Amino acid sequence: MIRAGILGATGYVGAELVRLLAGHPGVEIEMLVSQSFAGQKISDVYPHLAKVSDTVCEALDAQKAADACDVVFTALPHGASKDVIPQLFDKGLRIIDMSGDFRYNDARVYAQWYGQPHSSPELLSESVYGLAELHRDKIKNTRLIGNPGCYTTCSILGLVPLVKNGLIDHKTIIIDAKSGVTGAGRGLAQDYHFCECTENTKAYKIGTHRHTSEIEQELSLLAGADIVLSFTPHLIPQKRGILSTMYASLTAEVTTEELMAVYRQFYKDEYFVRICGAGLPQTNRVAGSNFIDIAVVADARTGRAVVVAALDNLIKGAAGQAVQNMNLMFGLDEKTGLLAPGLYI
């Protein structure tokens, strides 16, 4: 059995990790860390976990984590992980980090987008960007994974076949993305109060959202050239889900059927990527699952490709993807513990 620990277990992503790992046939949860709820059972913080996991949360002790665990998931705020992870890495643990701290190949890019220098830049060369559909072989052979963000997973996987096959002009990429409120985490802020969110949709951080840099990094690697794109996120009045609509000018005349054939071929071996044959992706079809649904349309009138992708920001966009990465790291079938379909209703 894989002995697992979760740092930041009482955030939304941490709670989803507990739920998924508690039902994983190859995992035992050995340690749950929460500074705010130390001494309390996770099922007292989240009653839906009663009889699923009654583990008591505790304060962080790196040596205890090293003794008790084989893998640690760090669901900590951005900036906090880079100060904690070096201690865990030095003790030989395998680490899957849910923050943005180890998603970058270049410390300068991290500093530019996060407004602070990286305190452990030497570990960036050890970390692997945890998108299995692109980096599966590297994930299998690393001890440190930077688990991708939710917006980035949806947008990158939506655009990869077009970029990889040279079907779009890289300079014309525009991403319009929408997220449920859980994407902002469990912390309190006026923008996320019920009365501020319900019956309201709004754009934010136009041109400055940190996930822009992740999308550009991964697409640039695929294209073999620097890609700069426009990314605009929106907050929508639902609990979970990401819907990204992506636009780019086509480099040749192609039909929707031809583009769909490209996507089906590109993702033919990817269980968690579903190319929609009928209808466009919707968030209620993926909520609670590790699937991403994708559709692509050739707009002949404008000469653009339009891609629509949907996923659950807490599952394929966070905790589910982390479990998928853990499975790969330990030589398990990557679908293990992740076969549940979406909730739909």
Evaluate if residue 320 carries a pLDDT over 90. yes
Question: In this predicted structure, what is the pLDDT of residue 188?
Answer: 66
Lowest-confidence range among 7-16, 146-155, 176-185, 333-342? 176-185
Tell me what percent of the residues of the chain surpass a pLDDT of 70: 100
For residue range 249-305, list pLDDT tens digits in order: 999 999 999 999 999 999 999 999 999 987 899 999 999 999 999 999 999 999 999
For residue range 117-135, list pLDDT tens digits in order: 998 999 999 999 999 999 9
Q: What is the mean pLDDT of residues 188-200?
A: 80
Closest CA to 113 of 130, 100, 132: 100
Looking at domain 151-313, does it have CATH number 3.30.360.10?
Answer: yes
Q: What is the mean pLDDT of residues 68-78?
A: 92
CATH architecture of 2-126: 3-Layer(aba) Sandwich (3.40)
Question: In this predicted structure, what is the pLDDT of residue 43?
Answer: 95
Where do the structural domains in the chain lie, given as residue ranges?
2-126, 151-313
Evaluate if residue 181 carries a pLDDT over 80. yes
Question: In this predicted structure, what is the pLDDT of residue 190?
Answer: 77
pTM listed for this prediction: 0.95
Evaluate if residue 92 carries a pLDDT over 80. yes
For residue range 216-239, list pLDDT tens digits in order: 999 999 999 999 999 999 999 998
Higher pLDDT, 14 or 81: 14
Q: What is the mean pLDDT of residues 191-197?
A: 80
Q: Point out the residues that are catalytic.
A: 150
2-126 and 151-313 share one fold: no
